[in-house]
Structure 1
Amino acid sequence: MDGYIFEELVNTLFQKMGFETELTNKSGDGGVDIIARYNKPIFRGKYLIQCKYWENQVGEPPIRDLYGVCLSDQANKGILVTNSGFTDSALSFSEGKNIELIDGDTLQKLMKEYDVSRDINSNPNKSTHFTIQENFELDKYRYLVKRIENERREANHYIKLREFFFENLLKKDWDILRNGLLDEFIALNEEYIKRFCKNTKVGTEEKKALNYLNAMLYLYKGELFKSVEMISDLNLLKKIHPFALMPHWYYFDGTFRNDIRNPIILSYLLIIFRAFEFNDGIKLIQEKIDEGFDEILRKMSTGLSFFPYYDENKELFSNFIEDILNSQFEDIFIPTDYEAGKILKYYGYEFSWDEGVTFNVNELIDNMWDREKIKESLNDIKVVLSL
């Protein structure tokens, strides 16, 4: 029995008991494994569940930690579930507090009552969690997560785990990516924002960069509506500069550039909309592109801006869009790193990209995405693009 499988068993048990549950991510705060909500009268509220699949008895320290999280989150109760038992000091500490301890014997009875499993030590159907996939570096992952758990104030520990997630993203192992790693990556970025992105110019830009990265991760997952919402919140759907839409190929200073530092999600949406024949969405993005070029012309006519090789770039960009719509360009780039802060003269953020590291849209459709779910979200995406 793996610890992750044990969590899934406990999660299933609480669902059958009438709770709405959410398995948390290991890099998140507080050591809580499951957040459970009960929405019926009398016991309505939030319950925090920690799972311990241990050979030895559970002592007082983890119960004390769980109690602290319950107080800070104002939860109804903290519940620690184990396959083993509890020490006398653990039992003594929990008395009179909103903490419930469920040992192996009690858990076995509950699972039998709710028909979850005949034996908590039996191996259920194989879990699909990314941590038990054959090619996943579990020991390295556990080490990096443990460093965060031991020193949550050390930003470098989060950065090391983010680099590890980037490495796994670039490997394109679908069994790992579609079974929780992207969720864990997103949760890590959210936790980093909360802890380290202070209200400074640099902190603000890093927060934007990580939210942009999370929007990309949601896109890879196939949660397109969530991705578009995040891009909208970053104000990247307004006053669009066409230069920013085209990931590479442009004229500058009389030379032909190949620069893919900052491809933007809108060009990827065009690729996706074409794949799903979502013509309304394509039309909306094309209108935004035209508005961007009109804005450039307006500024050039008043002397407020200079855009080198305007005609050449507009033609180049038109050809790029035509290639997308004719299925000649189907690649969605994968970021390898980011920089935030003062870049050249201005504060901002930018990503590093490798031209050879991409997801083909058809790879994502076949390996990551729920086609029907995406089709159902298209009208909602149209509303966001129209705002």
Structure 2
Amino acid sequence: MVDFENLLKQFAFVEGMDAAAGLDSRPDLIDMTPAEFEHLVRQLFEAMGMKSWVTQASKDDGVDGVATNEDPIFGGLCIIQAKRYRKAVGVDAIRELAGTMEDKHATKGIMVTTSWVTKGGHEHANRHGRMQVIEHEELKYLLKEHLGLDVLISLPKPPPKGRK
């Protein structure tokens, strides 16, 4: 049995805010502040059935959010990186997330980005085996499916083919 109370003591959380309520009819996620985006991602994970928190902005050990799934077989501690980017997320960010996962004893790491992750980043995440990447179109789909939000993500150039 995982002792979530003990695992969660290693993080400094901030008070939750309702980032979804402040969005109008078809908001552009790129216009959000990084903190608003992190809270929106937290709300998404909560809507998907997890308990979720946003960490403090500085000295967060590379952790933007933490989610827990208390299922005794498939659950565990999940480290979340939320990147409100206009350009690609590189392999270095994926490596950092992998290292943070190990340091924090997380069962899963999730990179959530408004843009896309490079081929090298995807390859590293796949080799690691306990990482998931949620990028551009999948993020839009999940926000619509779980929070009822129809959002825009204005990127200066479209993601490469196969990485919408």
Task: Calculate the TM-score normalised by the size of structure 2.
Answer: 0.70
- In structure 2, how many angstroms separate the alpha carbons of the residues matched to 1:42 and 1:106? 26
Give the Å deviation of 1:43: 2.3
* CA distance in 2: counterparts of 1:62 and 1:116, whole angstroms: 29
Q: Where in structure 2 are the equivalents of 1:1-387 lying within 5 Å?
A: 1=31, 2-97=33-128, 98-121=130-153
- Match of residue 161 from structure 2: none
Aligned residues: 122
Identity of aligned residues (%): 34
> Structure 1 residue 33: deviation in Å?
0.6
Return the structure number with greater relative CO, CA threshold 8 A, min gap 6.
2
Unaligned runs of 5+ in 1: 123-387
Change (3 A) 1:75 1:116: farther
Q: Distance in 2 between matches of 1:116 and 1:14?
A: 13
Q: CA RMSD in A?
A: 1.6
Letter in 2 for 1:113: E
Residues 191-212 of structure 1 show CA distances to partners (whole Å, capped at 9, x for unaligned) of: xxxxxxxxxxxxxxxxxxxxxx
**Which structure has the larger Rg?**
1
TM-score, normalization: structure 1? 0.30
Give 2:114's aligned amino acid.
N
Question: Aligned partners of 1:17, 1:27: CA distance in 2, in Å?
Answer: 27
Distance 1:40 1:13, change over 3 A: same
Distance in 2 between residues matched to 1:31 and 1:119, nearest whole Å: 26
Deviation at 1:116, TM superposition (A): 4.3
Q: In 1, Cα distance between the equivalents of 2:69 and 2:152?
A: 24
Q: Which amino acid aligns with 1:21?
A: S
Give 1:92 deviation, angstroms: 1.2
Alpha-carbon separation, structure 1, partners of 2:113 and 2:61? 18
The whole-number CA distance in structure 2 between the counterparts of 1:15 and 1:116 is: 14
User: Which 5+ residue runs of structure 2 have no aligned equivalent?
Assistant: 1-30, 155-164
- 1:120, distance to aligned residue in structure 2 (A): 4.8
Distance (whole Å) between structure 2 residues aligned to residue 62 and residue 76 of structure 1: 18
Instruction: Find the residue that maps to 1:96 and give its secondary structure.
Output: helix
